[in-house]
Structure formats: C-alpha cells, structure tokens
Amino acid sequence: MAKNALSFVCQNCGAAYNKWQGKCESCGEWNTLSEEDTTGATSMPANLRPKRKGRPFALETLTGSSPDAPRLSSGMGELDRVTGGGFVRGSVLLVGGDPGIGKSTLLTQATSLMARAGHRVVYISGEEAVAQVRLRAARLGLADAAVQLAAQTSVEDIIATLSEGTPPRLVVIDSIQTMWTDTVESAPGTVTQVRASAQALIRFAKKSGAALILVGHVTKDGQIAGPRVVEHMVDAVMSFEGEGSQQFRILRAVKNRFGPTDEIGVFEMTGLGLREVSNPSELFLSERDLGSPGTAVFAGLEGTRPVLVELQALVVPTTLGTPRRAVVGWESSRLSMVLAVLEAHCGVKLSGYDVYFNVAGGLRINEPAADMAAAAALVSSLANAPLPVDAVYFGEISLSGAVRPVAQTSARLKEAAKLGFGRAVLPENARGDAGGDAGLSLNTVGSLTSLVADIAARGSKATARGKTAASG
C-alpha cells in the first residue's frame, strides 16, 4: 500500500518542496509554504497503473479559413473594451483583486444585463448565500434579472447541474478559492485544490462553449493561494484595481488571448453600484488645484484611450541623513532615474531634499511618457513656480537628458484640446507626429535642461512679483 505523498507547497506561486523552509526559492516570499497531501488520484505507483493506448487525432495545416470567434456582449461598454469586444464562447477569464474592491458588484451587474438580453447566465457563489446575492442585486436595482443563482462549492455538483438543459452562455464562479473537488484531498483554498478545481471547470467550459469567469482574491497574509496559480490555464486575466478611499475603479487586462492587454475600463463606485466612466480624464481632473506649484497635467495613453491625469510633487528640505523618496502611482525606480538626470545634467540639487510624488486620483501609470511631466512637477515644487494651468506635458527622458518622442502624439493633443487645454509641452521630434495640433500652442523641448530653465525663470518672476507686492 502506497504511503501518502506529503509535500510543502508555496501558497503564492505553487512551487513544491520535500521539506519545509522559511523562504520559497521560486518566488522569494517568506512563510508561504504549507503541508499538503498531494496523493489524490496519483497514489498508485507508476509501474502498477494500467497502460492506455494512445488514439490518433487529425492534424491541420496552416492554410485554410478559421471563423472569427463569436463574441457575446456583456452590456457594459467598459467591460467589453477590456475583453476585446465581449466574451468569446468557451473562453475562461480570471478576475482578480483585493477583497472588497467590487468584483462581485461588477459581475452581478454584467450577469444581470446579459440575462435581461435573453441569455442563460449562472452565478455560483462559494462565499455568500443566495439571500446575500439577492440583497446585492436588489440594492443595485437588478432583482428582476433572470440570473440563475446557487451557493455551492463542490465542482462535481456544479458541473453536473450546468450540464443539464440548455448550455449556459456565461458562468461566474465566485470565487475559485472556495471550490473543492473529490479528485484531491487538500483543503479548499490550497494550491492543489485551486489548480484541480480550475482544471475541471475549464474542461467543462471548452466542451460546452460557455464563457467562464473565475473570481480570485488575495489576502494580506498570503496564506490563501492567489490568482497567479491559474494564470497560465485561463485565456484572459483581468485585474480590478482601486483604492478604498477613491471613488473610481479600473479594470485592467494583464493577459488576453482574444484582445489587447493595454486597454483599461474605468468605473465609478456609487451607492447604486458601478457606473461606467466614458471620459476618465474629466474624472481624474475634476478636483484639480489650479495654480499650485508642484502640479503638472500628464497627457497619457492607456491602450487606445488617451487619459489626462494630474501629477503632484512635493520637494522639501530633509532632516534625515538619507533623503526620503515616497511614490504613489508610479514606479519608484523611474522617479529615481528622473531625479538623477535632473541632478547630473540640469544642476538641480535634490540630495538634500525629501521628495514626495503622487498620481492624483490613485491611477497607476506605467508608460515612460510621464517622465517630462514628472520632472516639470518636481522642478515646479522646488522653485515654487506654478506651471501654466492650460498646459499638458508628455515625453520620455533619456539618461543623457534628451527628451525622446512617444507614440500617439495626435491622440494626446486631441484629448487635451477637448478638455479645454491651450498648450502642450512635448518632445522636439514629435512635432511631425502631431498630425494637426488640434488648435493647441506647441512648445517643443529638445533637452530637459531647457525645460528646467523655463520653469526656473517663471519661479524668479513669481518671487520678484511677490517682493514688489510686499514692499508696496
């Protein structure tokens, strides 16, 4: 009789070890290894397992026509934008995010809209009772939608129920961490159970043609396996982001086999659920503080959508031996590079100052085009020189201090003109890509030195005006 196969599995990345250790060598996390029984269906020794003869299958050629994957609209434009135009039949999506961020609210609204359109939609909740889901739907004004509900965690029972009658068009599993299958003996939420449960549900989706959405969440202590475990198994991975203190939420595609991975969907959390934001620039600039030093408007791009957002910087003398660098919404390494270029090529001495940098509204920026806007905000705060309130900034800064052009210049300028901005500070080589300046006054910058000199001159004039007013 074979002994139980016990191993220590990392609950963060799924790596297995023969003995316990404090740090996972695969992902580098500490105290994430837990003991699991991985015997399951493979407890029989390999030499005693029945040998199965392989079956031949048909081979295809590279030539030939393949029909486009039919898509099913969710009824929410922002969600369809991120998925690439809707849900593909037989596709599997993983929606991840922190607890309480609004994943269940988003999916409740999407399933209700699809059910109202006449599609069979099934919502399986492993964390909440049916009554709790109904209360949420009533609060959102969606109680009349014909969504089929169930509170179940057994994968075998779920698949047997879904296989009866007409195949559903959309199935939501909320969440995959609560599911369990009889094929393995580990506890629900462990890496082994999450992987086995996801495999069974994915096989059903591919066979029936139903679109499947798996909800995953990550706790702060990292003991429950996060959505990383099944990222390679699904067709798309969506990240639902946002701060609890902020009113908006962002749905971002991390992986997508049927669409782009650089699109975002913007939602606003209200008392009646999530409201789609078709123009996120107005939302991010709605509470902008005009005329304050250390603020610059960045004309960014998220996928095909231009987004304008305010960058805030605060530079103050430090009382510490090592100056502090605090960054929210931007890469700290990118800020360190901009600070180094300012000090090395522009003569801006920041080694004796604490630097605080923030992207207003909680948006996270990833593109290098924000370098020039960040530099403008930093120098503006240091020189106490307010930047023009009708100007936008974008451009990538190289280590030599040169300002390099970025993609989609015309789209950024058109968005700025639509929101009432009158001028744009952009790289010198990007003038030819403007494709029509959209009525904006263009101020091209070839190197970061000229930008710093311009802002410093504005600071000197502001100081002179202040002294004149005080003496008068």
- What's phi and psi for 312, nearest 5 deg? -120, 135
DSSP 174-208: E-GGG-B-TT--SPTTSHHHHHHHHHHHHHHHHHH
Distance between CA atoms of residues 25 and 223, nearest Å: 17
100 is in an annotated binding site: yes
Side-chain half-sphere CA neighbours of 370 within 13 A:
33
Q: DSSP assignment of 64-111, as one string? A: S--PPPPEE--S-HHHHHHHTSSEETT-EEEEEE-TTSSHHHHHHHHH
Q: According to the annotation, is 323 in a ligand binding site?
A: no
User: CB–CB of 399/367 below 8 Å?
Assistant: no
List of residues 6+ apart from 229 with CB closer than 8 A: 13, 14, 191, 194, 195, 198
Q: Which helix (H) or strand (E) holds 268?
A: strand 264-270
Question: Which neighbouring-strand residues pair with 236?
Answer: 93, 256
Q: Is 395 annotated as a binding residue?
A: no
The b-or-e profile of 236-269 (16+ CB within 10 A means b, else e) is bbbbbbbeeeebbbbbbbeebebbeeebbbbbbb
Amino acid found at 153: T
CA distance 90 to 204: 9
Residue 98 in marked binding region: yes
DSSP 272-327: TEEEE-S-HHHHHTTT--TT-TTEEEEEEEETTEEEEEEEEEEEEE--SSS--EEE
**Can you read off the two tokens belonging to residue 131?**
């009554």
Whether residue 205 contacts residue 91, with contact meaning beta carbons closer than 8 Å, is answered with yes
Does 405 appear as a known binding residue? Answer: no
For the chain, the maximum distance between any two Cα atoms, rounded to a whole number of angstroms, is 99
Binding-site residue set: 97-104
Binding-site residue set for ATP: 97-104
